[in-house]
Structure 1
Amino acid sequence: MLRRYAVLLLLLLLGAPAARAQTATFVGFEFRAAGAVVEGADTLRQAWAGGFNTPQFSSIDLNGDGRNDLFAFDRQTNRCYTFLNAAQPGGGRGWQYAPDYEALFPADLAGWALLRDYDCDGRPDLFSYVNGGDIRVFRNVAGIGGRPIFQLTTSQLRFSGAGVGTSNLTIGGYNMPAIADVNGDGKLDILSYDFVTANIIELYLNTSPDACGAALTYKIDTNYWAQLQTCAACAAYQLPGLACRGGVPAAKPTHTGGHNLLVLDVNGDGVNDVLDGRDNCPELVALLNQGTNQLARLTASSIRTDFPSAANPVRLPVFPAGYLVDTDFDGINDLVVAPNMLDNSQDNVSQRDNVRLYRNTAATGAPAFGYQPKGFLTNDVIDVSEAAAPTFGDIDGDGLADLLIGNNADRVNGQYRASLTYYRNVGTAAKPVFSLVSRDYMGLAAKGTAPNVFLALKPALVDLNRDGALDLAYAANYQGVNRIYYILNTAAAGRPAAFDPTTANYFKPQGAAGSGVLPGFMGDMPCFTDVDGDGNVDLLLGTDDYTEPGQSLRYFRNQGPGVVLENAFVAVNNDLGQIRDGAGARPFHLSPTVADFDGDGLPDLVTADNTGAVRFFSNYRTLLAGPTAPRTNLFWNALLSQYEANRLGQSALVRYGLAAADVNADGVPELFIGTETGGLSSYAVRRGTPTPTRPPAAAATLGLTLYPNPAHTQATVETAQPTRVSVIDATGRLVRAPDALARQHDLTLSGLAPGLYLVRAEAADGTAAVQRLAVQ
């Protein structure tokens, strides 16, 4: 990396073009199933899709074949999923995970995202949350091959009404509205709980002058729909003639108080009813409208808490939301129900197998929803509930890489605790097949009850004592204390591993507290790799710790066999790579992994963090001399023929877990990303010169302008399209980290020594341009 930038600087000084496409050694990743995954008698059809926590489902034709495909948006992680309606080898149709189509959706979606056709062109448009509870809308227009292109129609829906004039149509940060034709005039209306009190329902009617409602003008029809108010208890309502149970008054405003609404005709009488899911409640309550579509009326008999049937009512641990989707390709919408909470930090519920399916067998009239025990899609993915952290190694001694996954926690048998899930590789060296053996490997979860339980288990299979046999290390919280534990393998090399949990020890800090010693912090992510080339595995630690000086990635050297293993690791660098987010701040929940991805015989580093950024550092040992610019547009999108940034989600609470292993014996490591949603995604390496997404002169189209030049304390960079800008000195050292995408960047040069520097601008598609800058 250092040599590359030094050569580039020399070329610039000799008069080579100031802006050119990048053609240096390149590595990227492409989504590819790493192998079959088997649980019992079932082969998981979407094994590597990454799991689900709070998916919101909508139908859309993604590939222009005239068939409805599937879009899902996960609220907790702000992640999109796309599945194609695909022909199956044995006949019929099935869902096929197709992540390339996720790039067709806006990258900044958050809160909720629903597809509804507002202009009657047969192409569902995108309604989404924005700005703390407002609603923005993107129109779906036909792109190449009929693929959707989402064009922003309005960044803020507005409404009119007596006493308010015109105002923002705001539903609050925790409500998800029903967007449907409520009054039967063919236009999309909006029904939502009031964002201030969260205990009454407001109806906004679409008053657009056209027959379809494409102008998206709204007025408030009523702020007291059906004269309904929620009570303090779950599934309890106050209506005319119906008081709250036990005399408890209607619910008061709270800091959450969210509701999810869905409009449908439950009983087939031609009048729209409503399904209501409430935060901190398990029921999806049916509110049966005994009035008309224009004037709703509810009575005590309107409230059904056993929907859709007394035998199998909807019951989720918390905050259910309903979606109408044709899941089985019979042309009839089924009911899919999933939780919709913001996070699991307070509820501590299981987020595995949490999407319920009620198949509709009635083509006309009242829907007949029948409960399907296997659920929808979640039974077809690897899912360990939340914050999956994978590691690979030969556990059973057959020479094949097995899979061990830690998690943050899952609620099983009333206990919220972490565990290790073990998939044994029962395939061949070239064709792995991962078969589920245990969801509680070594019985770590079964042996304790709160507070004697593990949380935030992050495992690593590694030979710690150089005896040729893999040992087990794992970061974990136990009894409120965070440590990196290890269990030495007492079996000989090549034999099935023998781990005795009762012998677990942990690595001790070496030195005085506050001097940068090994921290212990919830969610620490250990990566063992020989940093200094002495044959001993050292420790790279991704950490959120703030009790010891340091940042997100820290390097601890192994002192070698002359030191007791528990005292082996001493601090060397507490800010390796000086990794920062787009705003120059420290990222959190950083996870590292190391392997020779680019095939040059030197170890590379890949990191991921809560911002969603996955960064690639070629030959990470150069980071010991100072930071270098990472690559972030790493993931090949065959649909768009370009490399893109990671799209597996981002939020303050998102935790990734990275691993690298050659599981198919092709001599090239695969990259595995454990997701916050409890699943794994697998990627094959793509090496060589990148396939251009634009002509070779594309870099010139960035229109990189740099002024003043020479400069003293500040310089301005302007580009024709949004870019990230970094500054590199003559040795290849990164002196200004890449910032957020923008067309204009103001560079602060104070603190830089006089001399020549490279200013590099990189667009989202990987196109880059470089100019030299003289600092005086």
Structure 2
Amino acid sequence: MKYSILILFLPTLLFAQEFTFELEFDAIPVEIDGWQPIAPWLGGLSFTQPELCDIDADGDQDLFIGKQERSIWFLENTGTPQVFDVDITSFEYSGIEIDSIYGYIAPIFCDLDNDDDLDMFSYDVVGLIHYWENVGTPTFPCFSHVTDTLNGMNYLVTGGMNFCDIDDDGDFDLFTGSTYYGFIRFYLNEGTPQEWNFNLIEEQFLGISAGMNVHPEFCDIDSDGDFDLFVGGNDGKILFYRNDGTPSEYNFTHVTDNYGGIDVGAASSPEFSDIDGDGDFDLFVGRTEANSGISPGDLYLYENIGNQTQADWQLITSNFLCLDIGRYAKCTITDIDGDQDQDIFIGNSGNRLSYYQNTGDSTDANFLEITHQYQGISVNGIMPFFCDIDADQDPDLFCGSVRIPSPPPPDLYLYGNRGTPQNADFSLVSSSLVQGNFFVGITPCLADVDADNDYDLFLSDSWDGEYFFYENTGTPENYNFVYQTSSWQGISSILASPSFFYDIDNDEDLDLFIAAISESGGEANIYFYRNMGTPAMANMVFQTYYFLNFESYPLWIYLHGLSISDFDNDGDGDFIVGTYHGGLLFFRNTTGDTSAVQPRLSLDPHHGIQFSIGPNPANPITWISYNLPYPQKAEIAVYNLLGQKVATLASGLQMPG
């Protein structure tokens, strides 16, 4: 990483952070159709546009991912040209952000000034091309923002863009896509390799009209010395135009609207690169999640099992980076197969339930994707929660529903497990288990908060923040839910926020956690209410909005799922959090483990930044010294124990030394 954030932790009088957690992207393996994603617990991706290039001149291809949250994710290839292996120490590259409206960022790298290093470009949704000049070296890149519109012109790029020397004159020409019209604009570079001068030649290159979100990609796929054209479209397919001309005189022939039979769902973004060093191109395809239905996958990888002149594509995985089930990962856990470990279920906007079996054990989890349509269960906007409500030693399933896109109002579904602890068999018991003044959607949670050995019911509502409480006045075998209040303990939830009860402080009563959007600007957080009462008489006292310190990580997410369990059998609760983007985050509880350090945005691990501080930061005066081996952006920021930035001491491009 070329952007260094040096973090100083100072004491605070706010909530004492007595619990520590480590966000782990890859510690627990997940297998999906024979593939283990690189970082399964990354949280999912709603929008991916891949770009591969050798950014550090070490002879292998590094991977950049454009995404929605105004930043770039970078996976450095620490392997070889034959073996793609990435470093996931930090995903955010150089701290580059775009502050424009809707701030999509999709990096394209090209040596546009012919100085032997790669410069960076990105479009955004308002049509600007952003340009960062590489003022570093081929091995130590350092990017300086030059302009928000390349050469002061509006190129109307809202779908995709690419550079290609289409006329073989030694400089790069520019092709830009359109979101709304499906056209590709062609700008001929009439300048030189060192000084570009783009002139619009065609408003609709080759007469192409590919629907919305057009992504042009050039590649000599048949090794005949000229560039062929591939166009990603809004329907998730790829158009192919073969170049039957010469390197200096192109002549494109439309071959197919569905190249290789590839379909990634929506807004395909093709990127060719030889990542296995076998001399032919392999293919990554980014995507945008479909608006409805089960839509798993984040980044598709196709291996070329053909040759350099005749490509033949084999799908390797649709989840190259992480577990991603589409949109709104509403996760819940239970031991569904009676093997004494926790399995994972995820509801999503497609109304169905995905099942991930824990094939490991109670100490070392290992998850295997089984199905996206578990037992045919389908509930509109399904929000699942498992609980053995009839004391028959197997879990039953509660599902909240969502009104959108149309009535009826939301209801609570109960599916009874008529099978065994080892072989579940669910059947619908009720599609309207309790009555309530629900508005858009409800999320269930069950816990025994009065120590009477049966489970009480809580429902968070998606509109006005109500937290409904239904006391179970029945028995462990025969439930009877009786409405008590719409604001239990004065607690409000936000947007049907998932909640979970867990004795986090080992005082033998249940504490409460709510995954919510903060009141101060939209960041995701876990609210923590400590039970200061007894097991039989709860007294929830608010402790913090920032239990897991999401602000400490390079992620921008909304939370839609929350489950807590001791996944490593070390006596404390680990957290699994579902996100809007369709994936999961795993926070390992490291409380009391002195060898564990909570991850923060880290120093560049590869290029020898020297940093020192003294005396101890608890002193009134502290000095900070650092030495940079090459020009780069550096920031010295002060954070408190909650992971909140309280001061910036220095920021900007710094020279070596």
Q: TM-score range by the shorter chain?
A: 0.7 to 0.9
Q: Is the 2:43–2:324 contact (alpha carbons within 8 Å) kept by the matching residues of 1?
A: yes
Match in the other structure for 2:398? 473
Deviation at 1:419, TM superposition (A): 2.3
Equivalent residue in structure 2 for 1:373, among 305, 315, 322? 315
Match in the other structure for 2:199? 220
Equivalent residue in structure 1 for 2:122, among 112, 123, 128? 128
Mapping for residues 384-463 of structure 1, pairs under 5 Å: 384-409=325-350, 418-444=351-377, 454-463=379-388
The letter of the residue matching 2:576 is F
Match in the other structure for 1:167? 153
Deviation at 1:116, TM superposition (A): 0.3
Cα distance in 1 for partners of 2:128, 2:302 equals 30
Match in the other structure for 1:138? 132
Partner SS for 2:381: strand
Q: Is the 2:185–2:200 contact (alpha carbons within 8 Å) kept by the matching residues of 1?
A: no
Cα distance in 2 for partners of 1:82, 1:375 equals 20
The letter of the residue matching 1:229 is G
Match in the other structure for 2:219? 264
The letter of the residue matching 1:560 is N
Q: Is the 2:123–2:161 contact (alpha carbons within 8 Å) kept by the matching residues of 1?
A: no
The letter of the residue matching 2:529 is N
Could you say if the C-alpha distance between residues 316 and 659 of structure 1 is closer, same or farther in structure 2, counting changes exceeding 3 Å? Answer: same
Q: Is the 1:27–1:634 contact (alpha carbons within 8 Å) kept by the matching residues of 2?
A: no
Match in the other structure for 2:644? 766
Q: Is the 1:264–1:273 contact (alpha carbons within 8 Å) kept by the matching residues of 2?
A: yes
5+ residue gaps in structure 1?
A: 1-16, 160-165, 235-255, 410-417, 446-453, 511-516, 580-586, 636-642, 703-719, 724-760, 770-776
Mapping for residues 71-86 of structure 1, pairs under 5 Å: 71-74=64-67, 81-86=73-78
Could you say if the C-alpha distance between residues 200 and 407 of structure 1 is closer, same or farther in structure 2, counting changes exceeding 3 Å? Answer: closer
The letter of the residue matching 1:221 is L
Match in the other structure for 2:415? 487
Match in the other structure for 1:508? 434
Could you say if the C-alpha distance between residues 289 and 67 of structure 1 is closer, same or farther in structure 2, counting changes exceeding 3 Å? Answer: same
Deviation at 1:28, TM superposition (A): 3.2
Cα distance in 2 for partners of 1:199, 1:83 equals 31
Could you say if the C-alpha distance between residues 327 and 589 of structure 1 is closer, same or farther in structure 2, counting changes exceeding 3 Å? Answer: farther
Equivalent residue in structure 2 for 1:355, among 272, 275, 300? 300
Match in the other structure for 1:644? 552
The letter of the residue matching 1:526 is P
Q: Is the 2:12–2:641 contact (alpha carbons within 8 Å) kept by the matching residues of 1?
A: no
Higher-Rg structure is 1
Equivalent residue in structure 2 for 1:304, among 248, 255, 278? 255
The letter of the residue matching 2:334 is G
Q: Is the 1:127–1:135 contact (alpha carbons within 8 Å) kept by the matching residues of 2?
A: yes
Match in the other structure for 1:521? 440
Q: State the superposition RMSD in angstroms.
A: 4.7
The letter of the residue matching 1:521 is V
The letter of the residue matching 2:411 is R
Cα distance in 2 for partners of 1:196, 1:382 equals 30
Deviation at 1:661, TM superposition (A): 1.6
Match in the other structure for 1:344? 290
The letter of the residue matching 1:100 is S
1:657 maps onto 2:561 in alignment: yes
Could you say if the C-alpha distance between residues 504 and 267 of structure 1 is closer, same or farther in structure 2, counting changes exceeding 3 Å? Answer: same
Mapping for residues 59-74 of structure 1, pairs under 5 Å: 59-60=52-53, 67-74=60-67
Match in the other structure for 1:163? none
Cα distance in 1 for partners of 2:618, 2:114 equals 38
Could you say if the C-alpha distance between residues 316 and 284 of structure 1 is closer, same or farther in structure 2, counting changes exceeding 3 Å? Answer: farther
Cα distance in 1 for partners of 2:85, 2:562 equals 27
Match in the other structure for 1:631? 546
5+ residue gaps in structure 2?
A: 1-9, 533-537, 603-612, 623-634, 648-657
Match in the other structure for 2:485? 571
Partner SS for 1:679: strand
Deviation at 1:188, TM superposition (A): 4.1
Partner SS for 1:262: strand
Deviation at 1:138, TM superposition (A): 3.2
Partner SS for 1:442: helix
Q: Deviations over 1:512-545 (max 9, x none)?
A: xxxxx4x2524x4333345677766555545433
Cα distance in 1 for partners of 2:51, 2:579 equals 22
Cα distance in 2 for partners of 1:646, 1:531 equals 36
Q: Deviations over 1:35-64 (max 9, x none)?
A: 343457666665434455542112256788
Cα distance in 1 for partners of 2:93, 2:500 equals 25
Q: Is the 2:180–2:212 contact (alpha carbons within 8 Å) kept by the matching residues of 1?
A: no
Match in the other structure for 1:249? none
Count matched residues.
594
Q: Is the 2:562–2:578 contact (alpha carbons within 8 Å) kept by the matching residues of 1?
A: yes
Q: Is the 2:98–2:105 contact (alpha carbons within 8 Å) kept by the matching residues of 1?
A: no
Could you say if the C-alpha distance between residues 288 and 93 of structure 1 is closer, same or farther in structure 2, counting changes exceeding 3 Å? Answer: closer
Could you say if the C-alpha distance between residues 392 and 375 of structure 1 is closer, same or farther in structure 2, counting changes exceeding 3 Å? Answer: closer
Partner SS for 1:191: strand
TM-score normalised according to structure 2 size: 0.74
